[in-house]
Amino acid sequence: MRGGEAAIVDTGTFGSAGSSEAALTTVGLGCDAVGHVIVTHSHGDHVGSLPDVLGRVSDATAYARAGDIARITSPRPLVSVGDGDRVFGLDIIETPGHISVIDAAGGLLLAGDALNGSGSGSAGPNPRFTPDIAQANDSLRKLATHSFETAIFGHADPVEGNASALIATLAAGL
């Protein structure tokens, strides 16, 4: 959220669009404040509610990795984003089969499935969600070069506080 405008990263499973709307309400915004919807990859648990969310945020632009666009059901065209692009002040980092999103101003990494949480830490890439673990480990090293306080994963609890140091340590151990 910046200046009364918001971005949504990933829409969740089919039927979960109400959760995004409820989260907006919690911070005092409505669907009309959403100008951007970014999906990290084409798995149904990340894009299942995209059609419903885009129906609720009718003026928002939707973004996805070029390699995922053909596999995503969307009521309107998706804008292709990749490594080094910026959307709404958010940095797009291409990771294998995914994109991750970094909000440098907010100290936040939204990793999608590029990394996974484990208890109060990160377990790194999960072979169930990426076909090439060596490439996924390269992406872990890439994410470890960025600075963020909080990391949010597609699966498991977030890491809050000094998350980039934790991920850098994980990458150094590869």
- The pTM of this model reads 0.91
Residue 21: what pLDDT?
92
Q: From first to last of its 174 residues, what are the pLDDT tens digits of the chain?
A: 788 899 999 999 999 999 999 999 999 999 999 999 999 999 999 999 999 999 999 899 999 999 999 999 999 999 999 999 999 999 999 987 789 999 999 999 999 888 877 666 666 777 776 778 888 888 889 999 999 999 998 878 888 998 999 899 989 988
Main-chain dihedrals φ then ψ at residue 45, nearest 5 degrees: -75, -5
d(CA 46, CA 26): 21
Residue 11: what pLDDT?
95
Parallel, antiparallel, or unpaired: how do β-strands 121-124 and 116-118 relate? antiparallel
Residue 128: what pLDDT?
72
Q: Which of 124, 106, 86 is nearest to 160 (CA)?
A: 106
d(CA 97, CA 34): 26
Residue 123: what pLDDT?
64
Residue 54: what pLDDT?
97
Domain annotation for the chain: domains and CATH numbers:
1-81 (3.60.15.10), 82-174 (3.60.15.10)
Tokens matching residue 104: 């440098």
- Element containing residue 159 per DSSP (H, E): strand 159-160
User: How many other CB atoms sit within 10 Å of the CB of residue 107?
Assistant: 15
Residue 153: what pLDDT?
85
b or e along 108-121 (b: 16 or more beta carbons within 10 Å of the residue's beta carbon)? bbbbbbbbbbbeeb
Residue 97: what pLDDT?
79
Residue 122: what pLDDT?
61
Residue 154: what pLDDT?
82
Q: What is the DSSP letter of 31?
A: G
Tokens matching residue 37: 């919807």
Residues 6 or more apart whose CB falls under 8 angstroms from that of 142 comprise 93, 95
Query: 109: helix, coil or strand?
Result: strand
d(CA 149, CA 164): 6
